[in-house]
């Protein structure tokens, strides 16, 4: 009786939930490994900030908080930790002298690129049997899912 309660049209969404749960758990563990490889004191959640800063360039803390869907206090705490580790730096926003832009330091960028390269190699090994079109389609679909969250 259990599976039939939701109807057959829900099976795809139940399967999606199950697979995303496994994927997210593994992604969190992987982010922890990547964070430790980048700097032994780096929190796993902060790795995503470095990904965003490398991709989008310098940004205000409020922009980063909105992008990740977290509060300003949480973002400030994470950025302060990254700054203390020498991975990011703040500088005055030329458009508004009261605000600051946060960006990767040279050391932060070098460490990040090294670790990201190692992560990409892991993906390439794991997906070696996949067609490049399938990899591109997975990236497209994940992007579509992520865009729905904004």
Residues 86/105, Cβ–Cβ less than 8 Å: yes
83-96: pLDDT as tens digits: 999 999 999 999 88
Global pTM reads 0.77
53-82: pLDDT as tens digits: 999 999 999 999 999 999 999 999 999 999
When the candidates are 1.10.10.10, 1.10.3720.10, 3.40.50.10470, 3.40.50.300, the CATH number that belongs to 2-146 is 1.10.10.10
**Average pLDDT along the chain:** 89
Distance CA 90, CA 100 (A): 6
Residues 103/91, Cβ–Cβ less than 8 Å: yes
Higher local confidence (pLDDT), 149 or 53: 53
- CA angle in degrees (0–180, nearest 5) for 77-43-17: 105
Predicted pLDDT of residue 92: 93
Higher local confidence (pLDDT), 58 or 145: 58
Q: Residue 28 — pLDDT band, cuts 50, 70, 90?
A: confident
Residue in the block written with tokens 């977290």: 70
95-115 in b/e form (b: 16+ CB < 10 A) is: eeeeebbbbbeeebbebbeeb
Predicted pLDDT of residue 1: 44
Check residue 20 and give left, alpha or beta (phi > 0: left; psi -120 to 50: alpha). alpha
User: Angle of helix 11-38 relative to helix 44-56, nearest 10 degrees?
Assistant: 90
Higher local confidence (pLDDT), 108 or 145: 108
* HSE-up of residue 85 (Cα within 13 Å, Cβ side): 25
Write the DSSP symbol of residue 121.
Answer: H
Residues 52/72, Cβ–Cβ less than 8 Å: no
pLDDT at 4 over 70: no
Task: Look at residue 105 and give its three-state secondary structure.
Answer: coil
């Amino acid at each position: 009786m259990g599976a039939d309660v939701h109807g057959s049209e829900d099976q795809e969404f139940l399967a999606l939930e199950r697979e995303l749960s496994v994927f997210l758990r593994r992604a969190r563990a992987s982010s922890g490994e990547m964070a430790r490889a980048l700097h032994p004191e780096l929190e796993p959640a902060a790795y995503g900030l470095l990904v965003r800063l490398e991709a989008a360039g310098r940004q205000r803390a409020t922009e980063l908080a909105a992008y990740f869907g977290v509060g300003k206090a949480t973002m400030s705490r994470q950025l302060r930790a990254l700054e203390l580790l020498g991975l990011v730096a703040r500088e005055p926003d030329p458009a508004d002298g009261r605000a600051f832009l946060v960006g990767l330091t040279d050391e932060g960028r070098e460490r990040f690129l090294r670790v990201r390269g190692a992560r990409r190699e892991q993906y390439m090994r794991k997906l070696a049997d996949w067609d490049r079109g399938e990899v591109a389609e997975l990236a497209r679909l994940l992007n579509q899912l992520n865009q729905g969250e904004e």
